[in-house]
Chains A and B, each alone.
Chain A
């Protein structure tokens, strides 16, 4: 889970996980209520289908000791919540609602009322995925138009077949999905560690020395000494820097000697004349075939 670990939270890990997992959705409460109902009034088949596996889950996956034990063998900090997927939290309420609404003995009017009531309960206990507005795609590739435009600007201005760039966070994560002939100076972990200020051991710091310098400027907006920044661009063969045009680091890039080669929507593409540009080429595997 993001923000806390099993080691930090101990026996409370499950509780924190459940809070984060469910957020402002209260379906787990509905699930528990329905399990209690099945325990009291449910048929044999309902008990076998839903109740008994839930008891086993309570003893294992939802048991506060369980993650402590598993974590001794595997690092499950980031992925433990996925075990919650096993509980049929969506299936059980849907089954009960369909059973009650579709019951043959009810009149048409009663079925309609039941249907509306169940729908309102489900809607009221959850959070709509598009509550902040429907995120409409901008083109058939389902990435912002700016990704396409930036890729085009980079290729038009590049001196090599596989130019290297470093971009603001969102663009950095989307650029290679569209165009894998553009290389990126930082990988995802390096980027995330930089923006979340994650501790790096000495060896990692050494390995990431130049990339960290670039990320300090591009991702964290820190004005490091110009020489260090340019040295890092050369060391990582980074020819392009892409930032939001309104970024406060734009004047810094200009002062450092980078030239603007194009704008794509809200972003500006900067070019740096590498001292010794390396024409990156693919490794030839034909001799191994």
Chain B
């Protein structure tokens, strides 16, 4: 019971971290009111971008997991402290507005909270057997056991003489390992409880942003939209759909790509329809694309495709050439990482796990 309470607390800690980091990026925007939901979403992707930037060089130079964990803990603590120091006044003002908003929409908040809690309990409480867990979770357990990152094969535990590039850029399981090292939690508890709950909440947060776009302040319709989306997620369940990943493989990075990244790109596309000032949205899209690369390799194919599919009609309608470089920049992280992987598969380079 205490462990489960710890898990619940860690879900909250995750969100506080995302919120603090995201606030650093969006609190200073003068022409836009602060939004906690958007701060969390921006913070989540900034968090994974930063993690990728620090983690990959350390993996490639055979550094220990414990060292990465220490560096990461210090960095996150510093960022959170800076964010608190810089943004506390804005948060206080926002809190007042938020409490007022909760009181005014108590029914909506209560129903959505109950729906979310039920969804989390149902999914997190279920037994989930998937083959990919043998990679995702075992990567974290192997890293913890050996104190090395991606050097040992998670499937067998045997030493590998080179890094498997298919998974090299996907730092998500290593982030799990870092957090397990810092919290002392078993990877199964972290991945299949804490991160599952984090993914479910984050996915709903993105759905909420989409609903807000369509229905503005009509909270009855927003609540219904969230209900129907979640209902369909439980009924759209062949093994291939993103909804099935959401309910049965929630702890995988791919789930976040299908249920957070793709809907978020859709939301950004909706926002771009409304404005001619794209820069901020393109920067956000670039952040999402770069952060998604850390979640799963599938993002390297899906994100450029999704950006292309949503920007072509935007360009045709607006006939604005500024759209092209923005879209290209957002596609770039995925395309580059895909090219690197293809080069590896064709034998153009190998990253060894020892000095040669």
Which stretch, B70-78, B261-269, B276-284, B324-332, touches the partner chain A? B261-269
Q: Mark B52-66, 1 if CB is under 8 A from A, else 0.
A: 000000000111100
- Residue from the list A1, A173, A177 in contact with B188, Cβ < 8 A: A177
Q: For A25, what are the chain B residues with a Cβ–Cβ distance below 8 Å?
A: 235-238, 241
Q: A27-B236, A48-B313, A183-B157 are in contact. Are A91 and B141 (CB under 8 A)?
A: no
Q: Mark B189-211, 1 if CB is under 8 A from A, else 0.
A: 10011000000000000010011
A252 is an interface residue with CB less than 8 A from chain B:
no
Contact A176 B157 (CB under 8 A): yes
B258 is an interface residue with CB less than 8 A from chain A:
yes
A134 is an interface residue with CB less than 8 A from chain B:
yes
Contact B342 A74 (CB under 8 A): yes
CB distance from A128 to the nearest CB of B (A): 6
Q: A86-B309, A94-B229 are in contact. Are A180 and B221 (CB under 8 A)?
A: no
Contact B229 A285 (CB under 8 A): no
- Residue from the list B137, B146, B266 in contact with A91, Cβ < 8 A: B266
Q: Which of B157, B310, B316 has the most CB of A within 10 A?
A: B157
B36 is an interface residue with CB less than 8 A from chain A:
no
- Residue from the list B64, B137, B214 in contact with A99, Cβ < 8 A: B214
B87 is an interface residue with CB less than 8 A from chain A:
no
B212 is an interface residue with CB less than 8 A from chain A:
no
Contact B238 A22 (CB under 8 A): yes
Q: A141-B186, A142-B193, A188-B135 are in contact. Are A102 and B221 (CB under 8 A)?
A: yes
B3 is an interface residue with CB less than 8 A from chain A:
yes
Q: For B228, what are the chain A residues with a Cβ–Cβ distance below 8 Å?
A: 93-94, 97-98, 118-119, 122
Q: For A126, what are the chain B residues with a Cβ–Cβ distance below 8 Å?
A: 232, 234-237
Q: For A69, what are the chain B residues with a Cβ–Cβ distance below 8 Å?
A: none
- Chain A residue with minimal CB distance to B247? A129
Contacting residues of chain A (36-73) with chain B, CB-CB under 8 angstroms: 45, 48-49, 52-53, 55-57, 60-61, 73
CB distance from A81 to the nearest CB of B (A): 5
B159 is an interface residue with CB less than 8 A from chain A:
yes
Contact A98 B225 (CB under 8 A): yes
Cα(A134)–Cα(B316), bound, Å: 48
Q: For A246, what are the chain B residues with a Cβ–Cβ distance below 8 Å?
A: none
- Chain B residue with minimal CB distance to A177? B137
Contacting residues of chain B (219-261) with chain A, CB-CB under 8 angstroms: 220-225, 227-229, 231-238, 240-244, 247-248, 254, 257-258
- Chain B residue with minimal CB distance to A57? B309
Q: Which of A61, A91, A127, A179 has the most CB of B within 10 A?
A: A91
- Chain A residue with minimal CB distance to B131? A173
Cα(A180)–Cα(B153), bound, Å: 10
- Residue from the list B154, B192, B210 in contact with A176, Cβ < 8 A: B154
Q: For B128, what are the chain A residues with a Cβ–Cβ distance below 8 Å?
A: 135, 142
- Chain B residue with minimal CB distance to A24? B238
CB distance from B188 to the nearest CB of A (A): 4
B218 is an interface residue with CB less than 8 A from chain A:
yes
Cα(A173)–Cα(B129), bound, Å: 9
Contact A53 B269 (CB under 8 A): yes
B183 is an interface residue with CB less than 8 A from chain A:
no
Q: For B145, what are the chain A residues with a Cβ–Cβ distance below 8 Å?
A: 180-181
Contacting residues of chain A (126-140) with chain B, CB-CB under 8 angstroms: 126-130, 134-138, 140
Contacting residues of chain A (87-129) with chain B, CB-CB under 8 angstroms: 88-91, 93-95, 97-99, 101-104, 115, 118-119, 122-123, 125-129
Q: A53-B309, A122-B228, A129-B237 are in contact. Are A176 and B138 (CB under 8 A)?
A: yes
Q: For B35, what are the chain A residues with a Cβ–Cβ distance below 8 Å?
A: none
Q: For A256, what are the chain B residues with a Cβ–Cβ distance below 8 Å?
A: none
Q: A20-B240, A127-B235, A137-B127 are in contact. Are A82 and B141 (CB under 8 A)?
A: no
Contact A61 B309 (CB under 8 A): yes
Q: For B317, what are the chain A residues with a Cβ–Cβ distance below 8 Å?
A: 48, 52
CB distance from A65 to the nearest CB of B (A): 16
CB distance from A49 to the nearest CB of B (A): 6
Cα(A118)–Cα(B269), bound, Å: 27
- Residue from the list B154, B302, B316 in contact with A83, Cβ < 8 A: B302
Top 3 A-B pairs, shortest CB-CB distance? A126-B235, A102-B221, A52-B313
Other than A101-B224, A283-B148, give 17 A-B pairs with Cβ distance below 8 A: A22-B238, A48-B313, A49-B214, A53-B309, A86-B302, A90-B236, A123-B235, A127-B237, A138-B127, A170-B129, A173-B129, A176-B155, A177-B137, A180-B142, A180-B146, A183-B157, A282-B152
Q: Which chain B residues have a beta carbon within 8 Å of chain A's beta carbons?
A: 3-4, 61-64, 122, 125-129, 131, 133-135, 137-138, 141-142, 144-146, 148, 151-159, 186-189, 192-193, 207, 210-211, 214-215, 218, 220-225, 227-229, 231-238, 240-244, 247-248, 254, 257-258, 262-263, 266, 269-270, 273, 298, 301-302, 305-306, 308-310, 312-313, 316-317, 338, 342, 354-355
